[in-house]
Structure formats: structure tokens, C-alpha cells
Amino acid sequence: MAKQFDLVVHGATGFTGRLVVEYLLQRYPAGTGLRWAMGGRSADKLAAVRDEVGAPPDTPLVVTDSADPDSLRALMAKTRLVLTTVGPYQLYGNEMVAACAEAGVDYVDLCGEPAWMRQMIDAHEAQAKTSGARIVFSCGFDSIPFDLGVWMLQNEMKTRFGSVASRVRGRVRKMKGTFSGGTAASLNATMSAAKSDPRVMDLLRNPFSLTPGFEGPRQPSGNKPMIDEALGVWVAPFVMAAINTRNVHRSNFLLHHAYGADFVYDEMLVTGTGEKGEAIAHAVAADKSLGAEGGPKPGEGPSRAEREAGRYDVMFLGQTSHGEPLRVGVKGDRDPGYGSTSKMIVEAAVCLLQDAKDTAGGVWTPASAMGMRLVTRLQERAGMDFAVEQA
């Protein structure tokens, strides 16, 4: 039976959910062939947000409560894909992932919670493979620019030099914008879970926590300021590395170790040269503000002007065993946590539905599920740029 919708935005009344709806209105209004609906627990709140963002009065509204099995079954019967911005996912995502995996409904989210992701892989990947559901976690700033950046670098290296890089450095050169309140809430929920369950802490410490049955070589810790020998600049710990590196390793795992079974990868933030670069690196390493009191809360975020003023620029550097170097740069035209993320998750969802129909059921990463098809879509529509910088 044909579904009523191609996708439903679950969490449309939240801060990021509203941005997703605004982007859908801009890029995929009625008549463009994408049938989408706003979803959430309250019909009144959905109607209010619909009016506030200027959506047409006939924009479909779907009342869904993840805690209500009947509600989830009704949602599964209506849509081909669920796009959810409702986090922390370890608190609010279990039932939705289970329902999608069982019903064969595709799923994308903004998850940056590796321990929970591993739990979902263990619990639901077999079912998703059977039902045909494509479950794709981490379709925002964590971890699309990094996952696709490494994927593109390795593909370019193989094309140009006939071999991939066993060692890749991900370096954040510029970033203007704030992390979302959802990111902070996810961090706090993860730390709380780790205190009560030692197995969660084991997963958080393991760079291969998302590659069941495979343990690769020792990886750089990236937890201290240092001079990057390859670039000659000071670098500092990058707060999103804990999730991005694990997604990159899972992509390699799902791509049958296309980057090599000995692949080594780390991410750090470039702070500059000399004494100034060193001072900034140490200041970044000492900053514990993410998740602290007074930070952004879920549902809160920067103004439109602040979002549009945001930028980011990430570089990926690798070299062959013969010393042939290559760089790929990935840039985005909005703040990472909100403006760019809301565009990325929509385009990932549409790519999965329209461009990656041959991807089988299972729990995927953006790179392994969509690869160049997603790179192309993000460049054409979402204000991102992927470029080879150095031959």
C-alpha cells in the first residue's frame, strides 16, 4: 500500500525542528514532488509552529508520541521515512528506532551519542536488514562533513595514486557558531548513563565502538594540545571528535575496510602558530563550558542573523605509503549546530529516498549509505563545498 508521506519531521515544534521545516518550505514546497508532514506530540503546538513559520494552512500535521505504541504504528503506516530531531536520543529515541526497524521505514537523526548508537546497532540492525529499513544516524554537523570528507579524500587518493591513506588527519581550521542545546543535553545524558553503567564508559573509550567484531590499530587520543607535525601549527582537542571518529571508522567497516584495516584517524582544532597558537590551544583544552550551567538548552538557539553569520572550514590531510599528499576541504555557509545542520539532515533524508534507492536495509553512516550522491546534493542545495586542495 502506498504511503501518505515521503517523510515526517518528528520534533517539528522544537528549535531545530522548526529550522528543518523552514528549509523544507524553502527547498521542497508543495508541488515539488516531496510529500512531507510536521510531526509532534501536540496538535495545537504543531498548528502554532506551522503558522509561525509561514507554512501553508493545509500543511499536514501528524500527532505522534514515541511512548505510545499505537501512535508509532500509525506513523509507520503513513510515512516512508522519519526525520527526527528529538534528543537526547538515548532518552527519547529507543522506541522510534525499534518501530522503524520493524516496519521497514527509513530513519535519519542528528545523534552524537556513540554508546546509544552501538546499543541500537546490536538491538535492531538484524531486523532492519530483514525489513529493508535504512537507519542513518548522525546526519548533521556530527558527522556529515567529517564522514564525507574522509570518504572523498580516500576516493580521490585511490583515483590519483592507486592507494588510500592509512593515516588521515581531520583538522577544523575555522568554526563560527554555537553548538546546539541538544548537543549539550546529549553529552549530559551520556555522562549520566556512563556513571550508572560501566559498559557505557567502555563504549565511550573505544574508538571502534561502532564496529562490532572489529578492533583496529591504536588511535591518537587527541585529548591534549600539541604541535601538529604535518602542518606545523598548534592544535587543540575538538569536542565533536568523540563521535565523528567513531562514525568514520564505522564507514570504513561498512565499506569492507576500503580505507584499510590499519586505518588511523583523528580530529583536532587548529589554533595557530607560535605562542599565541599555543595559548589558544591550552585555553580550548581547558574549556568545559559545553553542558555546563548557563549553556544553551534544548529548544534554544541563536538568532537568524547569528545563524547566517556562522561558518565552518574543515581540512582532511592524508598521504600514500610513498609520501604522496592530498588534502580535501569541506566548508559550510551557516553556523554548524543549527543553520547548516538543519539543511544537512533534510538533504540526507531526501538523498536516501530519491538517490540511494539501492542502499539495502541496515544501520548505516552517511558516507556508507549515500557517498557521492550526498556530496553532490549538499553542494548543489545546502551551501556546502567539498574540494580537493592539494595534489
* Residues 234-288 pLDDT 10s: 999 998 999 999 999 999 999 999 999 999 999 999 999 999 999 999 999 998 7
Quick check: 363 and 355 in contact, CB under 8 A? no
**What's the pLDDT tens digit per position in 52-83?**
999 999 999 999 988 899 999 999 999 999 99
Q: Where are the domains of the chain?
A: 5-136, 144-334+376-390
Comparing 348 with 298, the larger pLDDT belongs to: 348
Distances in Å between the Cα of 263 and the Cα atoms of 28, 123, 220, 323, 367 are: 39, 27, 11, 16, 16
The residue-averaged pLDDT of 186-210 equals 76
pLDDT at 250: 98
Comparing 181 with 66, the larger pLDDT belongs to: 66
Which of 91-95, 289-293, 304-308 is predicted most confidently?
91-95
**What's the pLDDT tens digit per position in 104-126?**
999 999 999 999 999 999 999 99
CATH code for the domain defined by 5-136? 3.40.50.720
Least confident span in 6-15, 54-63, 258-267, 304-313: 304-313
CB atoms within 10 A of CB 299: 16
pLDDT at 299: 65
Name the average pLDDT for the chain.
92
pLDDT at 204: 75
pLDDT at 202: 74
Comparing 30 with 121, the larger pLDDT belongs to: 121
Q: What percent of the chain has pLDDT over 70?
A: 92
What does pTM read for this prediction?
0.94
Nearest to 7 by CA among 370, 337, 345: 345
- Strands 325-332, 311-319: pairing is antiparallel
Q: In which band, very low, low, confident or very high, does the pLDDT at 178 lie, cut at 50, 70 and 90?
A: low
SS (H, E, C) the chain: CCCCEEEEEECCCCHHHHHHHHHHHHHCCCCCCCCEEEEECCHHHHHHHHHHCCCCCCCCEEECCCCCHHHHHHHHHHEEEEEECCCCHHHHCHHHHHHHHHHCCEEECCCCCHHHHHHHHHHHHHHHHHHCCEEECCCECCEHHHHHHHHHHHHHHHHHHCCCCCEEEEEEEEEECCCCHHHHHHHHHHHHHHHHCHHHHHHHHCCCCCCCCCCCCCCCCCCCCEEECCCCEEEEECCCHHHHHHHHHHHHHHCCCCCCCCCEEEEEEEEECHHHHHHHHHHHHHCCCCCCCCCCCCCCCCCHHHHHHCEEEEEEEEECCCCCEEEEEEEECCCHHHHHHHHHHHHHHHHHHHCCCCCCCEEECHHHHHCHHHHHHHHHHCCEEEEEEEC
pLDDT at 186: 67
pLDDT at 92: 92
Q: What percent of the chain has pLDDT over 90?
A: 79
Backbone angles phi, psi at 299, to 5 degrees: 95, -10
